[in-house]
Homo-oligomer: A and B are copies of this chain.
Amino acid sequence: MVKDYIVKHEWKIIENGFHPEYSEISESLFSVGNGKTGLRGNFEESYSGKTLQGSYNAGIYYPDKTKVGWWKNGYPEYFAKVLNACNWIGLQIKFNEEELDLNKTKILDFERVLDMQHGLLERSFKTELESGKKIQVKAERFTSMHDDETACLKYEIKSIDFKGTVSISSFLDFDVMNQDSNYDEKFWVGKSRLADNSYCFVHAETLKTKFNLGLGLQTTVKLNDKPQEVIKNTDRDKFASSNYAVSLNPGDTCIIHKYVSFGSSLYHKEEDINAICKEKTDQIQTAGYNALRNNHTSAWADIWRESDIKIDGDVSAQQGIRFNIFHLKQTYTGKDSRLNIGPKGFTGEKYGGSTYWDTEAYCLPFYQSTAAPQVGRQLLKYRYNQLDKAIENAEKLGFINGAALYPMVTMNGEECHNEWEITFEEIHRNGAIAYAIYDFIRYNNDHEYLYDGGLDVLIGIARFWAQRVNWSSDKKQYVILGVTGPNEYENNVNNNWYTNYIARWCLNYTRECLELARNENNDFNNELLNRLNLSLSEIEKWKDIAENIYLPYDNTLKIFLQQDGFLDKELLTAEDLDQADKPINQNWSWDRILRSVFIKQADVLQGMYFFEDDFTEAEHMNNFDFYEPRTVHESSLSPCVHAILACKLGKKEKAYEMYLRTARLDLEDYNNDTEDGLHITSMAGTWMSVIKGFGGMRIKDNQLHFHPSLPDQWEACHFKIMFRNSRLNVHMTKAGTTISKETGELDSVFINGREIDFS
């Protein structure tokens, strides 16, 4: 059941009137972050209603022991999860003896606003206390995009008719746990804490992984502009607070500021964290809230300048796409190659915050088109840095000689999912990781990355495929047995077309890149071949495999077969499903899903999207017409690919239908799971639907092309694209498309094959 309590607005997400029944959904929607830290839209003051209190720090995770029924060789030992960390927004507010808690008081009005343009979360409410007295609160917070080790909030209490003492406890609380803890354990151990007048500090360390994180907090409290003194400090294990008591009369306003700094062992020596937090916290308090806020909002202005999409005539679509861009930008900034994009970002715990193939297949195109090339390159570097672990991972499964199998789910390069049908079998991710290198080079016309790790990664991956195929004496071709393709509603299938195709492509592309290296950088090439003990005969073997790999095809239907035996299934379409059966993953047994023809997400079509120039128009059409009706899109990553292909094939209505499925997925809670967190990585898919779908953006022959196809439902669509350090403005209207260059050296682009000259 779609929820429609969010007010539509071009730049804002607005909850008007409090919806306690959706409180956990709202907490996800109203999350803020800055690439290093982020938190759900929890209330500052106590709330005894439904809530998932969550504050997360990128790169700080815990290897929670896996739950498996029957362990088998090669199963991962742990399921990594990003850790719920220190609650820094917390304020305990008491009016005389009555604690402020919106679950208990009468709410007179309430508004919560996520101002996406400025990166601010605002909340205001008027409430009647149990005592019958009324007060008004305005709160605002941000995690600074300007200085990503800081965050601030402002909390303003105004008395309407309350007279008495307001007790305020401004605290840091590290005594938190993950909702998804497998064995109900807590993962943080307190190391030190301090509560000294208006300054608090708490420092904790994770079990096993030994990550250290300290937070400094300076609190200021003013009554009608008059600074108030701390009356008491409290500290206990993993907790510290500064406490105030303020005499409030009707009409009085009390303003609390919390200035917070983060010191993590990812960026600082453990022994320096204490001093760094103190210094940084003092410094931001001195600078003051407004200055920090200005720096933050101007950083957001820069972001929007490079990445905004404006849709005229469809506020709903406008809000949806900006919501997606906003969350993508606050999840990942590209500053640290150890970080990546968790499927839920900083908005929840599901999927453990780990890295999936989503990054390469969906997110890279977004980041490389909306930021400097360096940002996309960091995503490649992340995988290069984990190459040794990928080789180890392959070794655990019996592969040798430097073959690399990147994990399906990872934090530090180790596989950390806990289902064999995913970890062992969804090996297609190795292909997407190679494809991302190709995509980056193509987009940026910069193949230097090949010499900076790219070739090492490609060779590891090629070696994996070369060992993973086997010769079928029956088919007289190479086959790939026992895989799960992108369509996870199949397991352990033989010859998944997508997997076999991308394996072949990897082998060929690696050979091409080695050829390039030999031609232009022979010293490097020789060093590489020596270092990796790579012989020409091994490379020849790759050629042999690529030339003789089996790709299942049906001559009658003239389609690529998703896998061997696919046509043995009962060939229903999604229209044959009863409404009560949908989504099938909530209504059918896993058994029935596996046997059925229904496809969770683009599989053959994913391959045709990646390699579209390899196929004729008729091949595109045949396969789309066969697979699209059988795809139930129960992965949030699916509709975007179908939208892009539908645009290409001139199926405008289908494209718009697919776009709608993805753009407001979280705002309307289509999948009934937004309370777990937002679908961050699929937001990049939404962006692709617009840019590659309706915009028809492609790189061909080293040039940027557009094939616009504006939905009939829109007046116009304007979007920004960063391309090779130039910034372009694309304006699609019903009358036609124009493109202008804002900055940079780019000479031209093409619209429907017609060159637009910028010189």
Contact = CB atoms under 8 A, between A and B. Distances in A.
Contacts of A69: 66-68, 79, 417-419
Contact of A589 (B73, B79, B471, B595): B73
Interface residues of A, number: 51
Interface in A63-77: 66-70, 72-75
Contact of A591 (B397, B418, B471, B586): B397
Interface string A417-433: 11110001100000000
Contacts of A472: 567-569
Interface in A577-592: 585-592
A570 B425 CA distance: 18
A20 B70 CA distance: 29
Contacts of A72: 585, 589-590
Interface in A516-568: 564-565, 567-568
A425 B470 CA distance: 26
Nearest to A395: B589
A396 B591 CA distance: 10
A226 interface: no
A473 B572 CA distance: 12
Interface in A590-606: 590-592, 594-595
Given A419-B70, A424-B589, A588-B73, A481 B595 contact: yes
Contacts of A595: 470, 481-482
B419 A568 contact: no
Interface string A707-749: 0000000000000000000000000000000000000000000
Given A590-B72, A591-B397, A567 B425 contact: no
A2 B281 CA distance: 67
Interface string A637-660: 000000000000000000000000
Q: Counting chain B CB atoms within 10 Å of each CB, which of A69, A491, A492, A493 scores highest?
A: A69
A398 interface: yes
A485 to B, nearest CB: 13
A226 B109 CA distance: 90
Q: How many chain copies does the complex carry?
A: 2
A479 interface: yes
Nearest to A470: B570
A398 B584 CA distance: 11
B482 A425 contact: no
Interface in A141-182: none
Interface string A122-144: 00000000000000000000000
A571 interface: yes
Interface in A371-420: 396-398, 417-420
A325 to B, nearest CB: 30
Given A73-B588, A589-B74, A594 B68 contact: no
A568 B73 contact: no
A57 B590 CA distance: 35
Nearest to A550: B568
Contacts of A482: 591, 594-595
A701 interface: no
B568 A481 contact: yes
A526 B70 CA distance: 47
Given A66-B69, A69-B67, A481 B588 contact: no
A68 B69 CA distance: 6
Nearest to A571: B473
A495 B420 CA distance: 22
A242 interface: no
Interface in A206-227: none
Contacts of A590: 72-75, 420, 424
A390 to B, nearest CB: 15
A6 to B, nearest CB: 30
Contacts of A585: 72-73
A354 interface: no
Interface in A181-225: 183
Contacts of A591: 74, 397-398, 420, 424-425, 482
A614 interface: no
Contacts of A481: 565, 568-569, 595
A570 to B, nearest CB: 5
Contact of A492 (B66, B75, B491): B491
A500 B311 CA distance: 57
Interface in A480-504: 481-482, 491-495
A588 B492 CA distance: 17
A613 interface: no
A21 interface: no
A475 interface: yes
A588 to B, nearest CB: 6
30 contacts: A67-B69, A69-B419, A70-B419, A72-B585, A72-B590, A73-B585, A73-B586, A73-B587, A73-B588, A73-B589, A73-B590, A74-B592, A75-B590, A398-B588, A420-B591, A424-B590, A424-B591, A470-B570, A471-B570, A472-B568, A473-B571, A481-B565, A481-B569, A482-B595, A492-B492, A492-B493, A494-B565, A494-B568, A564-B564, A564-B565
